[in-house]
Amino acid sequence: MVKLAAFASGRGSNFASIAAHLKMAELPAKYTLLISDRPHPGAAEIAAAEGISFVHINSKAFSGRDEFIRQLLHELEKHEVDWITLAGYLKMIPSEVVQRYQSHILNIHPALLPFFGGKGMYGENVHRAVIESGMKVSGATVHIVDEQYDTGPVVLQDTVPVLFDDTPETLAARVLKVEHAIYPKAVELAVQDKIRLYGHRVEILR
């Protein structure tokens, strides 16, 4: 059984879509842990309903960075986590965690990377930037997490049109549907060991 952890700061809609897909597709995988930098995120309600352990870990609560990282790694090891999925987690993952789970951390970004990524590019900021750029398409990207914001190898992408009368809110709603479609597929590929990395390129095994 492949064991997963989710990191989420908010309502956790992608966390919910992945958890539902794992059960519906009867995959040999399950979530064992949810970690949040916030004490009462919406995602915690999803975890409680599914019997998934929830832990609030915020770096500000620790005396130093090393103690914070030790606690993160302790919880991940305690719950025997194989893969980490970021689901609206608004903090940088420490490099020590990225190295410990090398090529085993997935993230979803609400744009077509490598465009419209980087620090500060989350939520409505992304969609506003897309609209203001004049792009005719946007979409979502699932990528492997590395030690920078939104620069890891791309696993899956899909697109949506950008309409002339779009607002950040309307574009976000359209992109979210794509997120909920491709993120569970990417996690399915991960737990089935069908993702292969070649430098910055990803091969999907069939």
Per-residue 3-state assignment (H helix, E strand, C coil) for 38-86: CCCCHHHHHHHHHCCEEEECCHHHCCCHHHHHHHHHHHHHHCCCCEEEE
Q: Which of 56, 74, 104, 109 is catalytic?
A: 109
Q: Strand 2-7 vs strand 83-86: parallel, antiparallel, or unpaired? A: parallel
The rounded distance, in Å, linking the Cα atoms of 99 and 107 is: 15
- CA quadruple 54, 38, 12, 90: dihedral positive or negative? negative
CB of 2 closer than 8 Å to CB of 85: no
Does the annotation mark 40 as catalytic? Answer: no
Annotated active-site positions, please? 109
